[in-house]
Amino acid sequence: MSLVERIKSEHVYDTIHLMTRPVLRGGSRFLTFLAICLTMVLAASLAAAQDRPEEGGHELQVWTGGGHWVPGGTSDTNVWNAGFRYGWILTEPHLPGFLKGRFELAVDAVPAFAVFQRANTAFGAGVNPVGFKWIFATRGHVAPFLELNGGTLFTTHNVPTGTSSINFTTGAALGMYFLKDHAWSLDVRYMHISNAGLTVPNPGLNTVQVRLGFGKFFSKK
C-alpha cells in the first residue's frame, strides 16, 4: 500500500471512528430504550396478528443466537447476539414444485453483540439493513427458509484483536418457521465479520451460529 493510500485509509477510519464514538460510549441508554419500546410493540400486537406469511403482510420478531469460529479467519473466538427484526412479505408464491415460496425483505436492529476473544470480550451493537429471505410455501405448520444478509458492527474493542472496532458483516442462513399461535424460528447461519480494508491487517472472523426467534406475521391492512 502506497503512502497516499495509507493516509486516505487512515483518514476514512478516523472519520468513521469519530462519528461512531458517541454510539459506543453513550448509546447504551438509547439502545436499552429502543429494546423496551420494540418489545412492548411486539407484545401489544400479538392478539391481532396472523400466524402465516402472506403477500403484503409483514413480520415482527425478537431473536437471539450464538456460535463458534470456523476455519478461514481468526480462531478461538465465540460470539453471541440478540436483536429485533422487521420484515415485509413482498410477493405471492412463485417458482414451481418444492421451490415455491415468498420473498421477504427484512431489517435487523442488533442492540446486543458480544465477541469473546483471547485478549478481551468486545461488546457492541449493529444494524443489518439488508436481509433477503425466501420462505418456502407449505401447507403445514413448518415452513423452511433461506436467507442472505449484510450489515455493520461497532464494538468497544477491536474485532479481531489488533484490527478495527468498525466492521461489516455478511451471512447466510438455513432454517425453519414453526407456525402455530406464534411464529417460532430456528436456523443455522454462517457469519463473516471483516473491516473491509479499513485497517491492516484484516484477517476477518468466520462463525457458525444457531439462532432462535419468536414473533408474528401480520396480514396486509
Q: What is the CATH number of the domain that holds 64?
A: 2.40.160.20
Q: Tell me which of 40 and 146 has the higher pLDDT.
A: 146
The answer for residues whose C-beta is within 8 angstroms of residue 133's C-beta and 6 or more apart is 87, 103, 104, 105, 106, 145, 146, 147
Average confidence (pLDDT) over 42-66? 75
Torsion angle in degrees (nearest 10) through CA of 133, 33, 49, 220: -60
Burial of 72 (0-12, 13-18, 19+ CB in 10 A): exposed
Residue 145 pLDDT exceeds 70: yes
Number of domains composing the chain? 1
Q: Tell me which of 59 and 4 has the higher pLDDT.
A: 59
Residue 25 pLDDT exceeds 50: no
pLDDT at 3: 41
pLDDT tier at 124 (50, 70, 90 boundaries)? very high
Instruction: Work out the mean pLDDT of the chain and round it to a whole number.
Output: 84
Among the ranges 12-16, 56-60, 73-77, 169-173, which has the highest mean pLDDT value?
Answer: 169-173
Q: For residues 165 and 124, what is the distance between their CA atoms, to the nearest angstrom?
A: 9
Residue 125: strand pairing partners? 154
Instruction: Give the domain extent around 12.
Output: 3-218
Quote the percentage of the chain above a pLDDT of 90. 67
Q: Which of 217, 215, 211, 204 minimizes the C-alpha distance to 187?
A: 211
Residue 132 pLDDT exceeds 50: yes
All three cell numbers of 207, joined, read 462463525
